[in-house]
A and B are shown apart, each in its own frame.
Chain A
C-alpha cells in the first residue's frame, strides 16, 4: 500500500472530522436563524472576528465531544515499525477493518500523531474550562465582599492576592506540582479550601434570592448542599462512596495549582468592578429598599458586571490552556503516556530537526485553540461595548 500524498492526507483528515462539521453547521444555522433572541451570544454573529473565534472554539469543543469517533488509531497503542513514520504512512500490522493509515505520521513512541492530537483536545477541554470556572468562583466569592465592604477585609485579601501574583508562575508550578507535594498531601488541603468556594457561592446565591420564601430557600440550599458536599468529598478527599466523583492525585495537583494561580487575577478584576459599580444609583436604591448586602452584590452588581467577566473568562481559558501546556512541556504532573499537548510537544522537540511533525501538530492545535478563544473574547468585548 502506498503512502498518501499531502492532498489526500488533507482530504482524509477533513473526512475524519465529519461529525464535527455536521455539529458546527447545525449550531451555526440555528444560531444565525434565531440570533435576535439569543442576547449577547446572538450578537456575536454580527461581528466577523467573534464569529471566526467562536467557530474555532466550537470546532475544538466538538472535536473533544466526538473524539472517540474521530480518532483513527488507539492513541496509546504502539505499532512496531511506525516510529517517526512520515504523515500519510500506511499503518503496519493493523486489523483488516481498522483504519489503514497514520494520517499525520507516528511519533517517537510509534503512536499515531493524529489520534493523540484529537484526544489531547479532549483532555485540555475538560480541565481548562473547569479550572477557570473554579477560579472564577473563588475570585468572585472573595472579590465581591472585598470591593463592596472595603476596609480591613479588602486590605488583607488584596495583600494575599498580590502575594500570589508576585510569584513567577513557572516557579510556583515547580514548587507546587511535584511528587513530594502530592506525597505530603498539600493538594488535598488546597482542594479542601478552594473547592468550598463554589458551594459557598451557590448557597449564598440562592439564600439571598429566596430569603423571603423560606420553603423554597430551604429546598434549593438543601439540594445544593447535598450535591455540593457529595462532589466535594469525592473530588477533594477521594471519599465518594459511590465512586462517581473521583480525581487522580496528579490531576488534582495540576487542577488545584492552576485554580490557585488564576484566582487572584479574577479577584482583582471583580474587586475593581464592584468598587466602580457600587457607586451607581441602582445600588443606592437597593440599599434604600433594605436589600441585604449579599443580595445587592450577587443580584444587582454581579449581573451588571457580566460583560467584562465573560470576556475575561474566554481569555482566561486560553491562558489556562497555555499554563496546562507549560506544565506538560516541563513534564510536571502528567504521565508521559498521556496525549497531553504540552508533553507531546516536549517529547517531539528532541527530534525536531529530522521529524518535525510529532511536535508541530500539537503545537498548531494549541495555538489554534488559544487563538480562537482570544478572537472570541475580542468579538464579545466589541459586541458588549455596543450596548
Chain B
C-alpha cells in the first residue's frame, strides 16, 4: 500500500510541475505581456517602450527562468535603473532592497499581486474560495445522497418500471449542461413575468415577487433558500444523472452475483439482501466516480457562478482571464490543477482501500 501511494504522489508532483509550467507559458505569451504593459504602463506606449517595460519589470529572459522565479527556486530578478532606484521581484515598493529575500515564489507563499483586483492574489483567492466552498458543500450534500439513492433504487430491480423511468431521467439530466438548466430554472422559477412565480404570487402562496432569486450575489453575505437553491440545483442536476447511472450499473452487476442468489435462496428478505449484502459492494465504484466528478464540478462552478453572479472561484477565474490578470489566473490554475490531482489520488487510494479484492504490494 505505502509504495503504491508514494509512487502515485511522485507521479502527481511531476504532473503538477508539467501542468503549471504549461499554464505559465500560456499566460505569459508575448502578446499577453504587451497587453499587460499597455494596461499597467500607458496605452500610448511605443513598441520600444513596451519592450523595455517588459524587460524592466522582470518579464524578459527565458520562460524557464521566469517559471523558476515564480515557483521560488530561482532568485527573483533585481534591476537598478538609470536613476539608481533598485526594484525587483522580492522588493516591495519603498522598502530597502538590501533586506529583501532572495527567493519569493509560490513556494515561499508569495503569489504576487492581482492587477485586476488591486490586492494581493492570496486575498482574492482566499475570499473567492470561501464562497465556492459553501457552494460545493451544498452541492455535495444534495448531489451525493440523491444520486446514490436513485441509482440504488433503479439498479435494485433491473428492467422494472422504476428503473426505466429513473434511467430516462438520468439520461435527460446528463444531456442538460449547466448553462441550459440554469437558464431554464431562472425562466421557470425566478422570473416575475413568466414561469410559475406570477401565478404563485397571484394565489398568495408567496409574498415575494418570485419564488427564487435569479442571482446569488446576496448569498455571499447571507445564504438563504431563495438565493442559493437555483445555483445548487443547477450544478447538482448534471452530476446526479451521471452518478446515478454509474451507481445503477454497479448495483445491477452486484445483484446478479452468486452470493446475492445464495442469500435469497437462504430465505433472507429482499430488503435485507439489498441493505446488507448488495449495497456495500455496489458503492465502491460510485466512490471513484464521485471523486472524478470534481473536475467537472469545477466546470459547473465556473458556469453557474457566472450565470448567477456569485463571486466565487469560478467567477474570479473568468474575470482573471478576461482582464489579462496573469498572477491571478496562474493562481486559479494552480488551485484547479491541485484539486483535480488530489481528487484523482484520493479516488485511486480510496478504491484500493475500499475494495478488499485489490491488494497492492
Contact = CB atoms under 8 A, between A and B. Distances in A.
Interface in B55-85: none
Nearest to B302: A170
A146 interface: no
Contacts of B317: 170-171, 174
B183 A363 contact: yes
Interface of B (DSSP majority class): helix
B194 A356 contact: yes
Given A170-B302, A366-B177, A366-B180, A180 B29 contact: yes
A378 interface: yes
B100 interface: no
B191 A356 contact: yes
A162 to B, nearest CB: 7
Contacts of A174: 317-318, 321, 329
B179 A345 contact: yes
A166 B337 contact: yes
B187 A359 contact: yes
Interface string A313-348: 000001000100110011000000000001001101
B309 to A, nearest CB: 11
B175 A367 contact: yes
A163 interface: yes
A9 B45 CA distance: 57
B27 A175 contact: yes
Interface in B15-48: 15, 18-19, 22-23, 26-27, 29-32, 35
A363 B336 contact: no
Contact of A168 (B11, B195, B318, B336): B336
A163 B177 contact: no
Interface string B125-158: 0000000000000000000000000000000000
B333 interface: yes
Contacts of A49: 168
Contacts, number: 128
Nearest to A183: B31
Contact of B26 (A181, A353, A367, A374): A181
B108 interface: no
A367 B183 CA distance: 12
Nearest to B238: A322
Interface residues on B, range: 35 or more
How many chain A residues sit at the interface, stated as a range, is: 35 or more
A318 B175 contact: yes
B174 interface: yes
A360 interface: yes
B354 interface: no
A371 interface: yes
B18 A163 contact: yes
A131 B35 CA distance: 31
Contact of A353 (B180, B193, B303, B333): B193
Contacts of A330: 306, 318
B227 interface: no
B299 to A, nearest CB: 5
Nearest to B214: A353
Given A169-B299, A353-B191, A366-B177, A181 B29 contact: yes
B186 interface: yes
Contact of A170 (B187, B298, B337): B298
A352 interface: yes
B183 A166 contact: no
A184 B171 contact: no
A147 B135 CA distance: 41
A326 B175 contact: no
Interface string B184-225: 101100111111000000000000000000100000000000
A371 B179 CA distance: 15
**Of B18, B19, B183, B186, most A-chain CB atoms within 10 Å:** B183
B337 A322 contact: no
A179 to B, nearest CB: 8
Interface in A63-114: none
Contacts of B191: 352-354, 356
Given A163-B22, A168-B337, 13 more contacts: A166-B337, A168-B336, A171-B336, A174-B321, A180-B32, A325-B180, A352-B183, A352-B214, A356-B191, A364-B184, A371-B176, A373-B175, A374-B174
Which 3 A-B pairs rank lowest in CB-CB distance, beginning with the nearest? Answer: A371-B175, A180-B31, A356-B187
28 contacts: A49-B168, A162-B15, A163-B18, A167-B19, A168-B299, A168-B337, A170-B299, A171-B317, A174-B329, A180-B31, A180-B35, A184-B31, A326-B177, A326-B179, A346-B179, A348-B183, A349-B186, A352-B187, A356-B183, A363-B180, A366-B180, A367-B175, A367-B176, A367-B180, A371-B171, A374-B171, A374-B174, A378-B171
